[in-house]
Structure 1
Amino acid sequence: MLSPVGGVVFLTSSCRDTSNVCKNKIANCKAPIPTYFTIHGLWPTFRNDTPVPPYDPASNNCNPLPTSPDAIVGKLAPIKDKLDKKWPNLLVHKTNVDFWKIEWQHHGMCSDYPNDPLDYFKDTLNLAQSKRFDPFRALGVQPSDQTPHLLNTLLENVYKNFGAYPQITCIMPQKGVLLLKEIHFCLKRTKKRPPSVVQNCSTHVGDRCTNPLTDYVWLRATPTIFSPHNVTSDLLAST
């Protein structure tokens, strides 16, 4: 059970708009870039969307003797092919396994799955692959090169289609251009696994998205070069 600092803990399931993340000027992504939303993580968070701190035996002994990051690799073998597709590392100089170890170290060890990394990653995969958590289905819009979308409209669409407000984050690869970066779905912590009860994220916007009533966000449909590393890809079409 989670007991790092007290307070109510929820889970945030985060999906990355992979193509837009890799248009960020500071992103150095590997090709080919996936043409669908990928998973960033399943994160224990407090009521105000503050992440639960990573496991530390001295300062945050949230679970007794959780499985170490180095020990998860063999346990993930049954779902490795699915993880490679849906939960890949995007950046150069790191492997998919490196990314999974980081996610486990920062979030899994202080989750309700401290000694069950296979179910932690498998349950996250199942969430990401369900129609309910399909980002474009929730957003209610399709990619467009002609029309950006008012951020508040996207938030209201998700509330209508998903049943709860998400958190939407953006990047600004060029001045005045906001691209959707990630969409975070928040779930209540219950005694049952996997999590299934959705709830409003307390913070609805993040990163370069600031004002839902004035921010217009692009979900582009064709390749646009924003990265100094010349990495491009079609905007995501979720699978």
Structure 2
Amino acid sequence: MKPNFSLFICFVCFLTLQQLHLPCFAQDFDFFYFVQQWPGAYCDSRQSCCYPKTGKPAADFGIHGLWPNYKSGGWPQNCNPDSEFDESQISDLLSNMQTEWPTLSCPSNDGVKFWTHEWTKHGTCAESELDQHDYFHAALKLKQKANLLHALSNAGIKPNDEFYGLREIKKAIEEAIGFTPGIECNKDSSHNSQLYQIYLCVDTSGAEFIECPVLPHGRCDSRIQFPKF
């Protein structure tokens, strides 16, 4: 009986992809980016914003996501299409989710589409460490640990449309959290560079802040605006 070389080649290719960590279901990663977003900068840009159905969010940083990343600068995504977002699994978290992880996308909605996207794209790549409830709960706890608005306000940096030094902002957060943040800016309609998102790095358990192995490119000017909301 002749060997089935087609099956043999497929098997070899499968093993090679496993070793290269290329399959969609790969769940190994080195750290998380915990990303918080300033709503004033989201809304004060070319991108339209809508308040969620629960009303205007508080003038505070909101969670954007908890994103698995590699030290090389890449990241896994959409790791398990069979692991669907299940609202019932986080029913005890929904009230906090609406407050701390609000959506500003249009049209106005209840946030489920946003959370579904975050779980599908990012959360499924962390299932080796955190199940769905643990994933969202971890992000909420990290938000409590890193009170960014408080840290900035204590340093005299407030959302009042004034401009502040990028170094001042980083220093204020580093002194409060203990680790260097990544700062991302966007542009308002007048092309001013404004504080948009803040990245903190977290260990693979989703519990402890760490020094970032690699920081994102934030496209910020040396002085940036902290817009009102």
Give 1:219 deviation, angstroms.
Answer: 1.3
Relative to structure 1, the CA distance from residue 53 to residue 219 in structure 2 (aligned partners, 3 Å threshold; closer, same or farther) is same
Relative to structure 1, the CA distance from residue 146 to residue 30 in structure 2 (aligned partners, 3 Å threshold; closer, same or farther) is closer
Relative to structure 1, the CA distance from residue 33 to residue 215 in structure 2 (aligned partners, 3 Å threshold; closer, same or farther) is farther
CA contact (8 A) 2:79 2:121 kept: yes
TM-score (norm 2): 0.76
For residue 218 of structure 1, the aligned residue among 213, 222, 225 is 225
For residue 45 of structure 2, the aligned residue among 5, 24, 31 is 24
Give 1:110 deviation, angstroms.
Answer: 0.6
* Secondary structure in 2 matching 1:220: coil
For residue 68 of structure 1, the aligned residue among 58, 61, 84 is 84
Relative to structure 1, the CA distance from residue 161 to residue 183 in structure 2 (aligned partners, 3 Å threshold; closer, same or farther) is same
Corresponding residue of 2:14: none
For residue 53 of structure 1, the aligned residue among 52, 57, 77 is 77
Corresponding residue of 1:202: 214
Corresponding residue of 1:60: none
Where is the helix percentage greater, Structure 1 or Structure 2?
A: 2
Relative to structure 1, the CA distance from residue 154 to residue 203 in structure 2 (aligned partners, 3 Å threshold; closer, same or farther) is same
Give 1:45 deviation, angstroms.
Answer: 0.8
Give 1:27 deviation, angstroms.
Answer: 2.4
Indicate yes or no: 2:119 matched with 1:88. Answer: no
Q: 2: CA distance between counterparts of 1:105 and 1:33?
A: 26
Q: 1: CA distance between counterparts of 2:21 and 2:225?
A: 38
Q: 1: CA distance between counterparts of 2:203 and 2:129?
A: 18
Percent identity for Structure 1 against Structure 2: 22
Residue 13 of structure 1 aligns to which amino acid in structure 2? F
Relative to structure 1, the CA distance from residue 48 to residue 216 in structure 2 (aligned partners, 3 Å threshold; closer, same or farther) is farther
Q: Deviations over 1:130-157 (max 9, x none)?
A: 2xx1113444343154741111222233
* Secondary structure in 2 matching 1:101: helix
Relative to structure 1, the CA distance from residue 146 to residue 197 in structure 2 (aligned partners, 3 Å threshold; closer, same or farther) is closer
Relative to structure 1, the CA distance from residue 141 to residue 47 in structure 2 (aligned partners, 3 Å threshold; closer, same or farther) is farther
* Secondary structure in 1 matching 2:47: coil
In structure 1, runs of 5+ residues without a counterpart are 58-64, 222-233, 235-239
Give 1:86 deviation, angstroms.
Answer: 0.9
Corresponding residue of 1:44: 68
Residue 95 of structure 2 aligns to which amino acid in structure 1? D
In structure 2, runs of 5+ residues without a counterpart are 1-19
CA contact (8 A) 2:173 2:181 kept: yes
Q: 1: CA distance between counterparts of 2:209 and 2:162?
A: 33
Relative to structure 1, the CA distance from residue 33 to residue 170 in structure 2 (aligned partners, 3 Å threshold; closer, same or farther) is farther
Using CA pairs under 8 Å that are at least 6 residues apart, name the structure with larger relative contact order, 1 or 2: 1
Q: Deviations over 1:101-138 (max 9, x none)?
A: 100000010114577211111111011022xx111344
Residue 84 of structure 1 aligns to which amino acid in structure 2? Q
Relative to structure 1, the CA distance from residue 142 to residue 150 in structure 2 (aligned partners, 3 Å threshold; closer, same or farther) is closer
